[in-house]
Amino acid sequence: MALSVKGKLQALCAVIVAGFALVFVVDIREGRLTERTLALERLAVAARIEALEMRRQEKNFFLRHDPEALAAVLRHQQAAVTAIEAIRAIDPDHDPLSDAALARLDAYRRGFEAIAGSPGGSDAADPTARYLESSQALERLPESHPALAEAVGRVARLEKRWLASGTAENLRRLTREAEHLRDSGPFPETARAARDYLAALDDYASRLEDAGAATASFVSAARALEPVTESLRAAYETRRNAIARVTDLLDFGIQAAVLVLVALAAWGLFRAVATPLDRLRRHARRLVRGETANLDPSEYSGEFRDLAADIAAMESHLLDTIRELAGKEREAADQACKAEAARQQAEELGRVKTDFLSLVSHEFKTPLTSMVGFAQVMRKRLERGPLAEQAGHAPDIAAEVQRLRHNLAIMLEEGRKLAGLIDNVLELAALDAGDLPLAPTPLAPAEILDRAAAPHLAAMQAKGLAFVRDIPGDLPPLRGDRDRLVFVFDQLLSNAVKFTQDGQIACRAGVRDGLAVIAVEDTGQGIPADMGEAVFEKFFQLGDVTTGKMPGLGIGLAAARAVVKRHGGAITAHGLPGRGVRVEVALPLFEAAP
């Protein structure tokens, strides 16, 4: 049964892990063997060092016949034996050179003890000990008799020459010089020390003649000991290098085998993945080109069969979705056509409404002006005419005059409101038609706001509203038409007073991004967050969706926005229900205006 892609990936990972594990095991084995070989090599080096130190102390002994040098020779010999025996204990298959080294060390010890004696034999029966004692006693004579220093020095030099060469001629010269010191010495202890020295020298020389065979064995063992220990060290060094080479070869072989297996597995995996993926890719491209292509999952195996089945199901669902979207697109196109027709109809109705209101406003303006004028004349006649004089004598006439005054005041107030509405309609119509010329001049923001706020101060005071004016004195002038900008802020303040029942109304000015920004804030009922743009539409009245019908036609803010745009500025409104409104007007500064 063919392996799936997942199975092939697992097999590939298993090969890699097995290769690394095998290399790890080989490295551990090599580390242990190398560590043991290094320990053996260090012991061989220690044996060689002890042997060299033993030979050095041997020379010291034969030159000075020092008992400490004799003990040191035997101590280093024992240390070398201990190192060789440790090698034999650690390495069961030890090199034959270790046996040879032990034999040479044993022969060296026997020969040296035959020549020099045992370090424990310090009694008078031991010729070597007596000779050493007499020689040291002779060397101490100059300490008490400095005149003997030269003669004792000659004896010491001849003694070292004889000990180094072992020839009979040097022995005779040493004997003559000691006899001369004995016979010519001016002090009794000198003659006694010289006699003891000559007797001990004769015994020691006789012993050396008797130990001729042991001396030959000692010399042979001493000469062979250093090459044997060096060969033993070199043998273990060679073994360690061989272990390292074999380990390197094994690591290389394992890594090469793993690399080949990984390459073959990767190639097989690539073939198992790339071929079905390429077929699926070609199928997807045919779908993109709009060609019909039936995907048969039975042509694939393993995971790709499931993938092909999923793609086929997705393809079927996609085609159904495309058909459904095509139907919805046609419906959306129909709705868009209807919406466009409705928009055009709304624009046409708005234009008709504006034209109608403009026409009606023009027709109403003249008679309305006359009515307001006659009402003002009548109010003055009531205040200064005959009725005013008669009212002072007749209470019924006075009451009638008072009612007439009240009715005339209402007539004048409503007439002024109607006149304002008519002016707004005419202003908006002129702006829409582009027939409203501007007379731009440098204007101080404080002057514009003061003129716009003046008509509303009485209404603010009547409602108990505080008026805050926050305008810096160093604010640069802006560029605009004075009357038109007064109209804009008059509309904003009128709305603020209309929709604010308590709290305050504030006018603030500043500079931002090279523009003069003037804001009108109130603490009134606010506006919904999503109606910041809708309030500037024609005939839109916020009272329709909040608290009921408010007076006006809903064209004041639309006219204000049109004026601000004609000045190259922008107007925005921000607020939340119950938290008031902040309307910002951004206008170009006089220096920056074109």
204 in Cβ contact with 128 (< 8 Å): yes
CB within 8 A of 102, min separation 6: which ones? Answer: 81, 84, 85
Using DSSP's 3-state secondary structure scheme, residue 361 falls into helix
541 in Cβ contact with 549 (< 8 Å): yes
Instruction: Report which secondary-structure segment, H or E, holds 549.
Output: none
Radius of gyration for the alpha carbons in the chain, expressed in angstroms and rounded? 64
Cα distance between residue 44 and residue 50, in whole Å: 10
Residue 120 tokens read as 């424990």
507 in Cβ contact with 471 (< 8 Å): yes
CA dist 526 → 509, 542, 543, 547 (Å): 21, 10, 11, 11
pLDDT tens for residues 500-510?
Answer: 888 999 999 99
What percent of the chain has a predicted confidence (pLDDT) above 70? Answer: 71
Alpha-helical runs (H) found in 149-211: 149-165, 168-184, 188-210
CB within 8 A of 91, min separation 6: which ones? Answer: 36, 40
Q: Which amino acid is at 346?
A: A
pLDDT tens for residues 450-482?
Answer: 999 988 898 899 899 999 999 898 889 998 888
Residues paired with 588 in a beta bridge:
515
pLDDT tens for residues 163-212?
Answer: 666 677 888 888 888 888 888 766 778 888 888 888 887 777 776 665 54
Q: Which amino acid is at 359?
A: L
pLDDT tens for residues 336-377?
Answer: 888 888 777 766 766 665 565 555 555 555 676 766 676 777
Residue 211 tokens read as 């130990």
Which phi and psi angles does 232 have, rounded to 5°? -65, -45
Sign of CA dihedral 464, 465, 471, 477: negative
* Angle at CA of residue 104, ends 103 and 109, nearest 5°: 100
104 in Cβ contact with 221 (< 8 Å): yes
Q: Which of 524, 538, 16 is nearest to 265 (CA)?
A: 16
What percent of the chain has a predicted confidence (pLDDT) above 90? Answer: 7
Q: What global pTM score does this model have? A: 0.38
CA dist 415 → 374, 376, 429, 459, 464 (Å): 11, 11, 21, 18, 26
Cα distance between residue 319 and residue 327, in whole Å: 13
- The mean pLDDT value of the chain amounts to 76
* Mean per-residue pLDDT, 534-544: 66
578 in Cβ contact with 525 (< 8 Å): yes
The reported pLDDT for the residue numbered 366 is 64
Residue 52 tokens read as 């060299």
39 in Cβ contact with 90 (< 8 Å): yes
* Mean per-residue pLDDT, 142-165: 80
Cα distance between residue 47 and residue 359, in whole Å: 130
Domain chopping of the chain, boundaries: 5-258, 294-435, 438-588
Question: Please, which pLDDT band fits residue 387 given cuts at 50, 70 and 90?
Answer: low
Determine the straight-line distance between the first and last CA of the chain, rounded to whole angstroms.
84
Query: What per-residue string of b and e applies to 256-292 under the rule 16 or more CB within 10 Å gives b?
Result: eebeebeeebeeebeebbeebeeebeebeeebeeeee
Number of H helices, E strands in the chain: 16, 7
Q: Which of 69, 74, 18 is nearest to 51 (CA)?
A: 74
CATH 3.30.565.10 for domain 438-588: yes
